[in-house]
Chains A and B, each alone.
Chain A
Amino acid sequence: MSLRRTLLTMGRIVRQLRHDPRTIALLLVVPSALMGLLAWSLVNRPGNFDSLGPRLLGVFPLTMMFLVTSVTTLRERSQGTLERLLTLPLAKAEFILGYAGAFAAVALVQSALVSTLSYTWFGLAHQGVPWRISLVALSAGLLGTAFGLALSALATTEFQAVQFMPAFILPQLLLCGLMVPLDQLPTALRYVADVLPMTAAVHAITPALSTSYYVAQFAIMFAYIGVALAVGSTTLRRRTR
């Protein structure tokens, strides 16, 4: 594996995004606007935004990087560039880490913008630790990218890839503790919810008493990232039947 080819791939993906300013705008503006909308809608319920807002900081990068990655890697498969790359001296790991790196960087920029706006303009009063918010955004972005890579192998058209979003994201959104507090869920669902990647992303940002709690959330996220990247790499086959 070469760092040079990984960085080259990362740079190529970022360059592709740069030629698509509308996507960049959507990636940056939409989460910020949603956060503003949430703050505004809760303006008559003091305190609510302070508890809901931070959790969304973990939801955005997961959702958006999942969507962006599944569509872009599907495009690599369907337009033949993936096949071409696999006939060239590019290792699968270089391809995958190129994607992970490029979209993690986008997730960081996105979260920096959303959290800055939230803590200033939208009046979020929550003892957020900037480095932890960045770390959550980074891990959640990586989670989205890793799952997007893996699931894109199941889709044969971009239309299908987009449909994976509600199938993969919405159940997690229902169970991650945003709608119903985890301890009020039926026991069976509670067990499921506890190990979902989005639950970990949401809870890694929520204030808690112990450090070991945060460590556990990050451990869950990174375990998922590892597994999803490994599954993703098995879907990149140099040889087809």
Chain B
Amino acid sequence: MTTPALEVRQLRVVRRHQEILASLDFGVDTGQLVGLLGPSGSGKTTLMRALLGVQTITSGHALVLGERVGSPGLRRRVGYMAQASAIYLDLRVRENLEYFAGVLGVGRDRVEHVLDVVDLRRHSEHLVSSLSGGERSRVSLAVALLGSPEVLILDEPTVGLDPVLRQDLWRTFVELTAQGTTLLVSSHVMDEAQRCERLLLLREGRLLFDDTPGELLERTKRERYDDAFVTLINEAS
């Protein structure tokens, strides 16, 4: 049996006397493209940060690639893109990528490769501060891709992107899974749900749904993901 890419058992996170995640249980197999959906404040970012090891876990446990989250060995194997762009505004795009590549110990060929993946080659010599919000989040995604991570955790990577680019990025995500990368992607755009093999729906720190997008439509008897999502949320409350 192969080790699952993500394994979450009775994960609970309490922050400032408030329960953010309540006893989550799920596993994700290698190479899956999993969408993490949920209304704002449902705990999506906290779950992602917990999987990354930057959020203290109150009880339960979470393993990434069979290792305890936050263990030093995972730092090269997991790529993360936060909601904040987390890049240096006062550096050129290429300078940002070269610095993070250096920290990861990967070569310049990776810098060139990710520039093409996120389609930023013509902006590579521009200062990040001169880029638009969508372009900045592509730089951030490029940094997450630099180390060819086995697991990619992306917090709302398509925010502020136009539909064409959004489609390109989802195509990239699918390509990455074909190469064996496991992706956990959060989004609040429900249409993006159909591109995932599997959906995790969070509400108030609990898993409301964990199945395929098709099953979501079937169970709620809706045709659009937006409606299905609202139906599910309303049923639960």
User: Is B90 an interface residue, CB under 8 A from the partner?
Assistant: yes
User: Is A87 an interface residue, CB under 8 A from the partner?
Assistant: yes
Besides A12-B91, A19-B91, A84-B82, 10 more A-B contacts (Cβ < 8 Å) are: A15-B91, A19-B127, A81-B86, A85-B103, A86-B54, A87-B53, A87-B54, A89-B75, A89-B104, A239-B55
Q: A19-B127, A83-B54, A84-B82 are in contact. Are A5 and B87 (CB under 8 A)?
A: no
Residues of A contacting B56 with CB < 8 Å? 239-241
- A22–chain B nearest beta-carbon distance, Å: 11
Please determine whether A84 and B95 come into contact, CB atoms closer than 8 angstroms: no
The CA-CA distance from A19 to B82 in the complex, in Å, is 25
Please determine whether A5 and B54 come into contact, CB atoms closer than 8 angstroms: no
The CA-CA distance from A89 to B102 in the complex, in Å, is 10
The CA-CA distance from A241 to B104 in the complex, in Å, is 26
Please determine whether B88 and A16 come into contact, CB atoms closer than 8 angstroms: yes
User: Is A3 an interface residue, CB under 8 A from the partner?
Assistant: no
Residues of B contacting A16 with CB < 8 Å? 88, 90-91
With both beta carbons as reference points, the residue of chain A lying nearest to B129 in the complex is identified as: A19
User: Is A20 an interface residue, CB under 8 A from the partner?
Assistant: yes
Interface size on B, residues (CB 8 A): 33
- A62–chain B nearest beta-carbon distance, Å: 24
User: Is B143 an interface residue, CB under 8 A from the partner?
Assistant: yes
Residues of B contacting A188 with CB < 8 Å? none
User: Is B37 an interface residue, CB under 8 A from the partner?
Assistant: no
Q: A87-B52, A238-B53, A239-B56 are in contact. Are A5 and B86 (CB under 8 A)?
A: no
Q: What are 19 pairs between A and B in contact, CB < 8 Å?
A: A8-B99, A12-B91, A12-B99, A16-B90, A19-B90, A19-B92, A79-B84, A79-B89, A80-B85, A81-B87, A87-B78, A88-B75, A88-B100, A89-B105, A238-B70, A239-B53, A239-B54, A240-B55, A241-B56
Residues of A contacting B85 with CB < 8 Å? 79-80
The CA-CA distance from A240 to B20 in the complex, in Å, is 14
A63-116 interface with B by 8 A CB criterion: 79-81, 83-90
- A20–chain B nearest beta-carbon distance, Å: 6
Residues of A contacting B82 with CB < 8 Å? 80, 83-84
Residues of A contacting B100 with CB < 8 Å? 84, 88
The CA-CA distance from A23 to B9 in the complex, in Å, is 50
Please determine whether A90 and B103 come into contact, CB atoms closer than 8 angstroms: yes
Q: A79-B86, A81-B86 are in contact. Are A8 and B91 (CB under 8 A)?
A: no
User: Is B76 an interface residue, CB under 8 A from the partner?
Assistant: yes
- Which one, A9, A15, A239, A241, contacts B95 given CB within 8 A? A15
User: Is B113 an interface residue, CB under 8 A from the partner?
Assistant: no
Please determine whether A80 and B86 come into contact, CB atoms closer than 8 angstroms: yes
Please determine whether A88 and B90 come into contact, CB atoms closer than 8 angstroms: no
- Which one, A8, A83, A238, contacts B102 given CB within 8 A? A8
Residues of A contacting B15 with CB < 8 Å? 241
Residues of A contacting B163 with CB < 8 Å? none
User: Is B225 an interface residue, CB under 8 A from the partner?
Assistant: no
With both beta carbons as reference points, the residue of chain A lying nearest to B74 in the complex is identified as: A87
Residues of A contacting B72 with CB < 8 Å? 89
